[in-house]
Amino acid sequence: MSISSDSQAPKYKRILLKLSGEALAGDGHSGLDAHVLGLVADEVKAVTAAGVQVAIVVGGGNIVRGAELSLRLGVDEVTAHYMGMLATAINSLALQAVMEAEGLVTRVQTAIEMHQIAEPFIRRRAIRHLEKGRVVIFAGGTGSPYFTTDTTAALRAIEIEAGALLMAKKGVDGVYDKDPNVHPDAVIYRRLGYLDVINQDLKVMDATAVALCKDNNMDIIVFDVAQPGNVKRAVLGEEVGTLVTASGRAP
């Protein structure tokens, strides 16, 4: 089915889009890439125009990964994780600025309070923003060390009652049986069960995040954000990347 079929009703009315820091970093693994930020803004604009409510969780791995930084600098691990959470705020403000420049109305809510630059995370308020067509960006992770922004994404998706959690990957179009960058014969899974992901340790998201999705029956779509139109295809229910649900594996 074509993406241009504007009359097609979306399968999901509200989504949570997870963007890792690395996905925002362009070809490098650090910093922020203007092209990728613009691409994400275009994708989000297209789905909000179709009436879909969009919330976003942004990672921080392009700036700080707590565990790695702690080892490298000798900073205590809890502090390093807080530094990682602050990094997600930097990415969120960048994304907010780019999306607003494209005419989207946005709010950033943080799990660690930063009154001067963002609202605190208040679930009911976030839902109200979404109902008004505003894009809500959740920054600061869960607000607690030792968690990840994947777990944050699962948690927030459940809290705002999203229809699906869209896990944006950069340059990888779904979940494979082995690393497609190393093994040319790697095979993509179009459908997986939560237990397939957990038992085979497939690289979708960390185990805590998958378990949360499993317990709450949250659809997970793993897709390549670098392919224009993919977010809209996913919300329309077209086959994009890998869909993880309660029903098991299928080719």
Provide the minimum distance between the beta carbon of 230 and ligand UDP in the complex, in angstroms, as a whole number: 18
Provide the minimum distance between the beta carbon of 40 and ligand UDP in the complex, in angstroms, as a whole number: 14
Provide the minimum distance between the beta carbon of 65 and ligand UDP in the complex, in angstroms, as a whole number: 4
Q: Which residues bind ligand UDP (CB under 6 A)?
A: 20-22, 59-61, 64-66, 81, 84-85, 87, 141-142, 144-150, 152
Provide the minimum distance between the beta carbon of 21 and ligand UDP in the complex, in angstroms, as a whole number: 3
Cβ proximity to ligand UDP, 153 vs 164, nearer residue = 153
Cβ proximity to ligand UDP, 144 vs 227, nearer residue = 144
Cβ proximity to ligand UDP, 20 vs 53, nearer residue = 20
Provide the minimum distance between the beta carbon of 113 and ligand UDP in the complex, in angstroms, as a whole number: 15
Cβ proximity to ligand UDP, 150 vs 237, nearer residue = 150
Cβ proximity to ligand UDP, 142 vs 242, nearer residue = 142
DSSP assignments along the chain, one per residue: --TT-TTSPPS-SEEEEEE-TGGGGTTSSSS--HHHHHHHHHHHHHHHHTT-EEEEEE--TTT--HHHHHHHH---HHHHHHHHHHHHHHHHHHHHHHHHHTT--EEEEESS--TTTSEEP-HHHHHHHHHTT-EEEEESTTSSTT--HHHHHHHHHHHTT-SEEEEEESS--SEESS-TTT-TT--EESEEEHHHHHHTT-BTB-HHHHHHHHHTT-EEEEEETTSTTHHHHHHHT---SEEEESS--B-
